[in-house]
């Protein structure tokens, strides 16, 4: 066995796979190696991200000037629906868990793979099938779906566009999410290296654990809801039709019972990545390990109790509105615990502002704006004024794109040397971070102002007084798209021509930095035993790392 391990250590997972041939497309598509599966998700999800971003740019082009610019109302309806469906279901929900969870969770736990490698591959295939169904639905009779990503009834039952197939695609994608979550829960319970108890686990693991529970418990709810809409469209049973004894608001309850916790599926893993990056680049152990870990669980739990704050103007009972508004404020507490602990970690730290750290700082800034405007929306009276306006659009782009999206890039910059064994151009990455935060605010901040002034969301046209801010936002979308292309160009060139990365370029102390870059098939060339806290930087003296 020792000989076998030594042999394995000589080759990276690119050179040695789990299939008979270690190269070629089949060695990837049928690989049960968590690292290869993570990279397959990276490629697929990035492709969908660019499609979604392109749709976003096209929407902004339409809104560049009042009146019809490049498309009509129906095309615009289709475009914002597809932008939402792709970005939510194909990019941001699977994003961090599927790419970085798959690649780094076993590495951080000192495990050889996830608990169920074949199930992991199945999850990827289900994701792929679901995404193909989304694409197929564009070409079905009736034309592409135009309901918005929330699929609200009664419109989704009545519209003649192709609704059932994309809904079914979301149903299929849900299974991928559930199976990934299940795999991670079992991996965390059963695969931790000897000596690594729950409280020696890196905080990324805790956030993935909390996320996985939401994936397993909440996703079936949306699955059932989607099936109910398909049944309604096919048979007209009347579940959501008041004329037949049904209730359209029931759909909104069911939809948000999943989709609000889903917001935490999106943001919790991002918070986990932040908790990894800040200690590494501050050279300081995390401040408040236990509160951060527990706040992940608290967010996951309280996240179940706030869904109806999406429905303040829907006509549900006043009692519900008051209760859900109150509960919404409570969810701000664990998020605040995290932000304050991150800032306290940096206090008196030896800060090294490398690209991953700069991206995390962008996150803290953008996410704080997103989070605080969320409190405006959580208050019933203010919400009634800005409900269904650009204010909401801006809020969730600050939270989702400014929060999770930013951290996808931070994670990519942080773990890229480990994943590919190559280093990207640091100066270029820093410039990208600067342009990103400028583009982001030019693109989305005007929407807060427009929303407050009454610009409704999902309209392809607007009154002339919004023209200047709309134009400004469109210019922001161009800078943003160019920045996104630049980010991936830098990384692509690094893969092709970048210089070889050190095994531990940032001086990290979690286990993924204690193996080669890229790691061998079974992750480590030795048996792992853990006898340190996860962010104990006194270990650095013994560890090999690239100094400044």
Which spans of this chain sit near other proteins (rule: CB under 8 A)?
213, 216-217, 249, 253, 257, 304-305, 308, 315-320, 323-324
| Comparison of 241 and 533: residue with beta carbon closer to other proteins | 241
Q: Between residues 67 and 245, which has the closer beta carbon with respect to other proteins?
A: 245
Work out how close the CB of 249 gets to other proteins at its nearest, in angstroms, rounded to a whole number.
7
Minimum gap (Å) between residue 320 Cβ and other proteins? 4
Between 317 and 531, CB nearer to other proteins = 317
Q: Cβ(123)–Cβ(180) under 8 Å?
A: yes
Residue 306: CB minimum distance to other proteins, A: 9
End-to-end CA distance of the chain: 38
Question: Which is nearer to other proteins, 80 or 213 (by Cβ)?
Answer: 213
Sign of CA dihedral 153, 155, 159, 165: negative
Q: Supply the Cα-derived Rg of the chain in whole angstroms.
A: 23
Euclidean distance between CA atoms 292 and 288, whole angstroms: 6
**Measured from the CB of residue 213, what is the shortest distance to other proteins in angstroms?**
8
Strand partners of residue 500: 422
Task: Report the nearest approach of other proteins to the CB of residue 118 (Å).
Answer: 19
Q: Which is nearer to other proteins, 295 or 325 (CB)?
A: 325
CB of 385 to other proteins, least distance (A): 22
Cα separation, 360 vs 469, in Å, equals 28
Would strands 422-423 and 499-500 be described as parallel, antiparallel, or unpaired?
A: antiparallel
Least distance CB 233 / other proteins (angstroms): 24
The residue among 323 and 375 lying less far from other proteins, judged by its C-beta, is 323
Taking Cα atoms as reference points, which of 184, 407, 207 lies closest to residue 289?
207
Is 54 or 217 the residue whose CB approaches other proteins more closely? 217
Q: Identify which of residues 240 and 391 has a Cβ nearer to other proteins in the complex.
A: 240
Largest Cα–Cα distance of the chain, in whole Å?
Answer: 74
217 versus 332: smaller Cβ distance to other proteins: 217
Q: How far is the CB of 311 from other proteins (least distance, A)?
A: 9
State in angstroms the smallest separation of the CB of 253 from other proteins.
Answer: 6
Give the H or E element holding residue 419: helix 406-420
Comparing CB distances to other proteins, the nearer of 185 and 439 is: 185
User: Please, what's the b/e burial string for 157-172 (b: 16 or more CB within 10 A of its CB; e: otherwise)?
Assistant: bebebbbbbbbbbbbb
Long-range contacts at 287-292 (CB < 8 A, ≥ 24 apart) = 287/341, 287/342, 287/344, 287/345, 287/347, 288/337, 288/341, 288/344, 289/199, 289/203, 289/533, 289/534, 289/535, 290/199, 291/337, 291/341, 292/203, 292/206, 292/337, 292/338, 292/341
DSSP per position, 173-221: HHHHHHHHHHHHHHHHHH-PPTT--GGGS-HHHHHHHHHHHHHHHHHHH
- The residue among 281 and 307 lying less far from other proteins, judged by its C-beta, is 307
Least Å from the CB of residue 322 to other proteins: 9
As a 3-state breakdown, the chain gives helix, strand, coil percent values, each rounded to 5, of 70, 0, 30
Contact 172, 222 (CB under 8 A): no
CB of 187 to other proteins, least distance (A): 15
Q: Which is nearer to other proteins, 308 or 480 (CB)?
A: 308
- Distance in Å, CB of 318 to other proteins, minimum: 7
E strand or H helix that includes residue 27: helix 25-29
What is the smallest separation between the CB atom of 230 and other proteins, expressed in angstroms? 22
Report d(CA 38, CA 519) in Å as an integer.
13
H or E element in which residue 385 lies: helix 380-386
Whichever of 145 and 308 has its CB closer to other proteins, that residue is 308
Q: Which is nearer to other proteins, 140 or 186 (CB)?
A: 186
Within 13 Å of residue 487, how many CA atoms lie on the same side as its CB? 27
Environment class of residue 338 by beta-carbon count within 10 Å: exposed (0-12), middle (13-18) or buried (19+)? buried
Q: How far is the CB of 325 from other proteins (least distance, A)?
A: 12
Do you know the residue count of the chain? 548
| Phi-psi region at 126: left, alpha or beta (left = phi > 0; alpha = psi -120 to 50) | alpha
């Amino acid at each position: 066995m020792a000989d076998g391990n030594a042999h394995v250590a000589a080759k990276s997972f690119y050179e040695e796979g789990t299939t008979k041939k270690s190269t070629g497309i089949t060695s990837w598509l049928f690989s049960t190696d968590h690292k290869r599966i993570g990279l397959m998700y990276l490629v697929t999800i990035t492709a969908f991200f660019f499609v979604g971003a392109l749709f976003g740019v096209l929407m902004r082009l339409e809104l560049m000037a009042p009146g019809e610019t490049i498309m009509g109302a129906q095309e615009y309806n289709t475009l914002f629906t597809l932008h939402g469906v792709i970005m939510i279901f194909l990019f941001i929900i699977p994003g961090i868990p599927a790419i970085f969870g798959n690649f780094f969770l076993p590495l951080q736990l000192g495990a050889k793979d996830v608990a169920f490698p074949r199930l992991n591959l199945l999850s990827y295939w289900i994701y792929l099938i679901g995404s193909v169904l989304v694409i197929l639905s564009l070409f079905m009779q009736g034309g592409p779906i135009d309901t918005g990503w929330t699929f609200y009834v009664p419109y989704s039952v009545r519209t003649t566009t192709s609704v059932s197939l994309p809904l079914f695609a979301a149903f299929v994608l849900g299974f991928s999410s559930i199976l990934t979550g299940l795999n991670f829960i079992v991996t965390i319970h059963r695969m931790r290296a000897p000596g690594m108890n729950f409280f020696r686990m890196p905080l990324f693991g805790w956030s993935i654990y909390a996320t996985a529970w939401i994936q397993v418990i909440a996703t079936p709810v949306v699955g059932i809801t989607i099936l109910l809409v398909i049944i309604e469209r096919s048979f007209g049973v009347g579940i959501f039709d008041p004329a037949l004894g049904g209730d359209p608001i029931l759909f909104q309850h069911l939809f948000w019972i999943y989709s609000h916790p889903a917001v935490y599926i999106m943001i919790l893993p991002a918070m986990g990545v932040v908790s990894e990056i800040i200690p590494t680049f501050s050279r300081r152990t995390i401040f408040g390990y236990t509160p951060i870990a527990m706040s992940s669980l608290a967010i996951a739990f309280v996240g179940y109790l706030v869904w109806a704050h999406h429905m303040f103007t829907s006509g549900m009972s006043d009692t519900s509105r008051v209760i859900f508004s109150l509960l919404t404020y409570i969810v701000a507490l664990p998020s605040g615990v995290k932000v304050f602990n991150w800032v306290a970690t940096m206090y008196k730290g030896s800060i090294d502002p490398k690209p991953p750290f700069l991206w995390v700082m962008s996150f803290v800034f953008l996410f704080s704006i997103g989070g605080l405007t969320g409190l405006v929306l959580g208050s019933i009276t203010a919400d009634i004024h800005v409900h269904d306006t650009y204010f909401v659009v801006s809020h969730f782009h600050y939270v989702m794109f400014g929060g999770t999206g930013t951290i996808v890039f931070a994670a990519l910059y942080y773990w890229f040397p480990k994943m590919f064994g190559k280093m990207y151009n640091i100066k270029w990455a820093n410039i990208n971070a600067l342009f990103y935060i400028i583009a982001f605010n030019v693109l989305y901040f005007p929407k807060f102002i427009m929303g407050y002034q009454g610009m409704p969301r999902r309209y392809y046209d607007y009154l002339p007084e919004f023209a200047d801010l709309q134009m400004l936002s469109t210019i922001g979308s161009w800078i943003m798209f160019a920045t996104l292309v630049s980010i991936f160009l830098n990384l692509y060139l690094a893969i092709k021509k970048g210089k070889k990365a050190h095994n531990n370029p940032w001086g990290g102390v979690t286990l993924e930095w204690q193996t080669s870059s890229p790691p061998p098939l079974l992750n480590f060339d030795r048996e792992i035993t853990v006898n340190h806290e996860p962010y104990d930087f006194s270990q650095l003296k013994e560890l090999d790392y690239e100094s400044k």
